[in-house]
Each structure stands twice: as structure tokens, then as C-alpha cells.
Amino acid sequence: MSFRLPARTLWQASPKFATIPRISSQAPSWRRHYAVSTDETRTAIVTGSARGIGKSIALRLAQDGYDVCINDIEANKSIADDVVKEIQSLGRKSFAYTADVSNLSEVQGLVQASVSELGPLTTMVANAGIAQVKALLDLTEQDLKRMFEVNVYGVYNCYSTAAKQMISQGHGGKLVAAASIVAFKPFALLAHYSASKWAVRGMTQAFAMEMAEHKITVNAYAPGIVGTAMWDLIDEKLGEKTGAKKGDTITKYSNELIALGRTSVPEDVSGVVSFLCGKDSDYMTGQTIVIDGGIIFT
């Protein structure tokens, strides 16, 4: 006849096994390092934030607990002031500063004003940009120059000026910029716009490599077809080329290109930007995230 003793009985009875050290099942304790200290007031500059995606980003960051500097060009000053009032109604500090991002000295003034009004800069969102619908062979030297002045030089001016400020503060930070789905797949009649957004992707990756040692993360967001004034213009100009009625081009794109079957709204984008600006993205840098409802798959 055979019988078995419970395993615990064998462990207690055998002096041979009694000397084996018990192995702790407790997981090792890892310390998380944040790009921006969660103990300090978080401040953000959002360029091109008087309307559209920029406005949505500014309001979302205010809801997230940031004090926000609203930036736009002089022509949009009155609506920028309205955004400031909305943010202040949420209990956050805010002010508007007029600057053209293509002008380095104006961006430097923007950053200095934000630090003076709101405190140390923790986040820069280089959202400002322009678009133009035009055939490649019709482009002028001025068309190309202005596109790159705003969309490429503008991002560089914001990244570099904000980075220098963050490095001087010594607490890391977040640099975020607007790319586009056309930074992955160009659209016809948007060649120079597409090229400028490819440049934003490349610059974002390069900045990410060089800023890592300073605990500054650098990422970009790539919206698809969004219901904003910019896409209204694109729809209108494409319609002039193809003979389509106003609204038909975006409807066609939405039905045929977008997997989710609808044009996006600014809030679809600002939610992702909120993530890129927050602590949950601290281990992400050099990335461009597509938010297009399923046009481009990466």
C-alpha cells in the first residue's frame, strides 16, 4: 500500500530542505522618472490656437490643469482673446500673445512672455501651420518659401526656443508639433504642404535624439481630414480643380478613404495631444502619431 504526504509536511519534516532559502515573490520596485515634474505648475504655449485644432488643444490642456499661453497672428487677436476668457472660466491662467512663428525673434518674445506671465515653460505645442492647394507646375518660388517659412521654420523656431528655455530651467519638458497624414502619403495638389509636413516628421525625430539627454521628449501628431477652416479651404480649392461642389470633396474622401466613415473633429486630435503632453507619454519620443480615422495604417 502506498500513501502520500502533503508537500507542506515534507518541507517541515526534512532538515535537508529546511536550509533552502525561500524565494520572495515580491516584484522589484522600479522608480519612474517623469519628463516634467508633477509637483510644479504645468504651463503650455499653443501656437495657432485662436481657432480649430489649436483652440481645441488649448482648451483640453486647460482642462488637464495647464496654464496656457494662446498664440496666433494679429488678424486673429480678437478670437484669441475669446479663447483666453474660456480658459480663465475653467479656473486656469491664460493670456494671448501675438507672434508669427516664422519669425524667430517673435517666437523668442513669445516664450519670454509666457515664462514671465505663467512661470517656467513645461510644454510647447507648435500647432500653427498653413495649407495651399496648387498644382506642382503652377507653384511659384514664393509659394514654396512661405509654406516652409511657416510649417518648417515655424516648428524649428518653436522647438529650439522652447528647448533652450527648458534646458535653462533644468526640469525637462515636452515639445509637440503638428504634422499631417500627408507626412506619410502625399495628396495630389498638396505637394509643397506634404513636403513641409514630411520635414516636421524628420525634425521631430532629430530633436528627439538630441533633446533626450535633457529629459525633453519630442513628438508630433498627424491629423487626417478635420472639420476646420483649413480643410474647408482645401475642399474649396480642390473643387475648383475638379468641378466638385463645396463639401463634395470632403464627403467623397470621408466615404471612400476613412475607415471609420466620418470626418474628424478637433477634439479627436486634442485628446491625443493631451496624451503627448502628459506624463503617460514620458517613455515616448521621436514619434508621429496618426489620428485620421483609418486612412493611413502604420
Pick from 74, 31, 199: which is nearest to 191 by CA? Answer: 199
Angle subtended by helix axes 248-256 and 229-242, to nearest 10: 100
**Residue found under cell 480642390:** 238
The answer to whether 193 and 151 are in contact (CB under 8 A) is: yes
Helix segments in the chain, DSSP class H = 7-13, 15-18, 52-63, 77-89, 104-118, 141-148, 154-169, 191-211, 229-242, 248-256, 266-277
Instruction: List phi, psi (to 5°) of 34.
Output: -95, 145
Asked if 159 is an active-site residue, the reply is: no
Q: Rounded to the nearest 5 degrees, what angle is found at the Cα of 208, between the Cα atoms of 205 and 214?
A: 170
The answer to whether 277 and 61 are in contact (CB under 8 A) is: yes
> From the candidates 66, 156, 193, 221, which is the catalytic residue?
193
- Residue 175 is inside which H or E element, if any? strand 173-178
Angle subtended by helix axes 77-89 and 52-63, to nearest 10: 20
Residues labelled as active-site residues: 193
